[in-house]
Amino acid sequence: MASKLFLTKSMTKLMEETQDSGQGLKRALTATNLTTLGIGAIIGAGIFVLTGQAAAQYAGPAIVISFIISGLACAFAGLCYAEFASMIPIAGSAYTYAYATLGEFLAWIIGWDLILEYLFAASTVSVGWSGYMVSFLKDFGIFLPTNLTAATGTVLYDVPGVGWKPMTDGLMDQLAAGGILPESLNHVTSLINMPAMFIVALLSALLIIGIRESANFNNVMVIVKVSVIILFIAIGFAFIKTGNWHPFIPKNTGTWGQFGWSGIFRGAAVIFFAYIGFDAVSTAAQEAKNPQKHMPIGILGSLGISTILYILVAIVLTGIVSYTQLNVSDPVAVGVDAMGKSMFWLRPIIKIAAIAGLSSVILVMLMGQPRIFFTMAKDGLLPPIFSKVHPKYKTPYVSTLLTGAVAMVIAGILPISILGELVSIGTLLAFAIVCISIIFLRYKRPELHRPFKTPWVPFIPILGAGICILQMLSLPLDTWIRLIAWMAIGFVIYFTYGKRKSKIQLESKSGN
């Protein structure tokens, strides 16, 4: 019966699962750990990679407005997440929230969507990590084989004074201004992105060893990158040329999404990928020492700090250098170069911060995905092997191994543009469902204990869901096609395995 697709998991059963029987995940995270986990996931690719690319391709200097739009959507969604995380403090994030409110089928949809979000996010950021690491090693005279440093099939050109880069519209314009034809340059076709695969493998191993060790590593990475970002902002203000902000909103090219207000919204949708860190905080609820109190602090604290830093970096970066020059894998490094030779000492420091920052993002993404697998397997929707916990380290090691292996392959073969848009649409869908779920649960179960309450319901959740859906509609058609294809695969798995093995479905049958 169709009604069985919408069976919900009782709050009593959910709360029973939070009790540690000695066989579950280890509770070791404090409010500080959770906040730094969020900052670790949020501050990374958004600042070090996507800010420049989205400014160059979609919004120009108005990328600042894009960040504000995305930040507002995240603030609304974050308030909804905080209420759920305090009510249902177990691993699984939006998947668990949907299971408690909207039913199993919609929970499966969001769980499958979260796999897309986290798995592809780890791969996306590892591609950015690769770009900065290759550049950093080059500064010390260490040159990796060019055909092992980019996505499979990517053609890299040896641009004078720049180095090996994939051809972009901005680079073509730069070459044309110098009278250089791209075909006259040395070029190679990349086989695979080995540095990206390496960092995924390394951090997956760290996550298997333990959550506390992973959190401590993340704390160090967060301190490094936030300190350097603040240094870049402080120094960068002195090098701003206000002429680079004019026009602040470049005229639309005639194509929807390429500058103008449509470009601002598309830019907001693309960079939304940068904000998924607070969602990752909620996946660690079952490893928090006091989840009812500390989860809202971790989610909202990390979101607030990160949004302020994003906006300041966008203002400084587009003020230092023209947005037309920022469609590169290391835009902040380009900004430092534009400050002049006197600031060359800052370049390696920025790269170290980028490498540290992106490492922490990859770590948190790789941490979140296995815990969603873990919870779905506990519910019977995935094979039980995904819920296996390491007897010594108390981590979901099988899920972590699988996630790491798949993320490595994706990172090695796919370019950052495709990956980033897929992650954004998956994240936006997850946030919209969470916002809608808050409204539904408030009216369906008003008596439930809520240690943290989303203010101004239903207005905040409606605004959160509305802005997320608007940004989804701003993404290209091919991104929607990929999302639909991914969801179709998920439906096949659910109806051939998940629905038959679901514990709640089996309990329902036995009760009849």
Per-residue pLDDT tens over the stretch 451-466: 888 999 999 999 999 9
CA distances from 84 to 153, 259, 410, 511 (A): 43, 37, 32, 29
Return d(Cα 488, Cα 58) in angstroms, integer: 30
- Residue 172's Cβ-count burial label (10 Å; 0-12, 13-18, 19+) is middle
Query: In sequence order, what are the beta bridge partners of 507?
Result: none
CB 358 within 8 Å of CB 202? no
* Confidence grade of residue 511 (pLDDT, cut at 50, 70, 90): low
Question: Residue 201 pLDDT > 90, yes or no?
Answer: yes
Q: What is the dihedral of CA 272, 278, 281, 285, to 10 degrees?
A: -120
pLDDT tens string 101-147: 778 988 898 888 888 878 888 888 888 888 888 888 888 888 888 88
Name which of 11-15, 68-72, 359-363 the model is least confident about: 11-15
pLDDT for 21: 45
CA angle 147, 407, 391 (to 5 degrees): 135
- Residue-level pLDDT at 45: 67
Phi, psi of 155 (to 5 degrees): -90, 120
- Residue among 146, 131, 251 nearest 189 (CA): 146
Which of 245-254, 262-271, 277-286, 425-434 is predicted most confidently?
A: 245-254
Confidence of residue 235 (pLDDT cuts 50, 70, 90): very high
CB atoms closer than 10 angstroms to residue 390:
14
> How confident is the model over 327-335, as a mean pLDDT?
79
Does the pLDDT at position 287 exceed 90? no
pLDDT over threshold 90, residue 356: no
Q: pLDDT (tens digit, 9 = 90+) per residue, 172-194?
A: 777 777 778 777 788 888 889 99
Q: Where are the domains of the chain?
A: 31-145+208-504
Picking from 81, 113, 88, 25, the residue whose alpha carbon sits closest to that of residue 488 is 113
153 three-state secondary structure: coil
Name the residue type at position 130. Answer: S
Residue 381 in contact with residue 246, Cβ under 8 Å? no
**Model pLDDT, residue 219:** 78
Average pLDDT in the 350-359 region?
Answer: 85
**Percentage, residues of the chain above pLDDT 90:** 19
What lies within 8 Å, CB to CB, of 38 at 6+ separation is 277, 278, 280, 281, 298, 299, 301, 302, 303, 306
- What is the gyration radius of the CA atoms in the chain, in angstroms? 22
- Tell me: pLDDT of 18 over 60: no
More reliable by pLDDT, 447 or 29? 447
Cα(283)–Cα(281) distance, integer angstroms: 5
> Pick the residue with more confidence: 155 or 317?
317
* C-beta of residue 220 within 8 angstroms of C-beta of residue 441: no
Residues 6+ apart with CB under 8 A from 236: 316, 317, 319, 320, 335, 339
Share of the chain above pLDDT 70, in %: 91
Q: 495: pLDDT confidence band, cut at 50, 70 and 90?
A: very high
Distances in whole angstroms, Cα of residue 437 to Cα of each of 99, 404, 411, 430? 10, 31, 33, 11
**Whether pLDDT at 33 is above 60:** yes
Residue that has been written with the tokens 């894998």 in this structure: 329
Predicted pLDDT at 23? 46
Q: Over 80: is that where the pLDDT of 258 sits?
A: yes
Residue 166 near residue 154 (C-beta atoms within 8 A): yes
In the chain, the amino acid numbered 425 is I
Q: Give the residue with greater pLDDT, 440 vs 289.
A: 440
Rounded Cα distance between 301 and 249, Å, is 31
Find the Cα–Cα–Cα–Cα dihedral 27, 32, 38, 40, rounded to 10°. Answer: -110
pTM over 0.95: no
Taking CA atoms, 206 is separated from 53, 210, 361, in Å, by: 31, 7, 14
Averaged pLDDT score across all residues of the chain: 83
- Identify the three-state secondary structure at position 159: strand
CATH code at 31-145+208-504: 1.20.1740.10
Among 212-221, 222-231, 292-301, where is mean pLDDT lowest?
212-221
- 144-169 tens-digit pLDDT: 888 888 878 888 888 776 677 777 66
Contact 92, 398 (CB under 8 A): no
pLDDT bin (cut points 50, 70, 90) of residue 405 is very high
* Strands annotated E in 142-255: 155-159, 163-166, 187-189
Least confident interval from 63-67, 71-75, 181-185: 181-185
Label the pairing between strands 163-166 and 155-159. Answer: antiparallel
pLDDT of residue 320: 94
CA distance 485 to 272: 21
C-alpha to C-alpha distance for 233 and 309, rounded to whole angstroms: 9
Euclidean distance between CA atoms 357 and 247, whole angstroms: 31
Q: Which residue has better confidence, 494 or 75? A: 494
Band of pLDDT at residue 509, cut at 50, 70 and 90: confident
Q: 3-state SS of the chain: helix, strand, coil percent to 5? A: 75, 5, 25
Q: 124 or 249, which is more confident?
A: 249
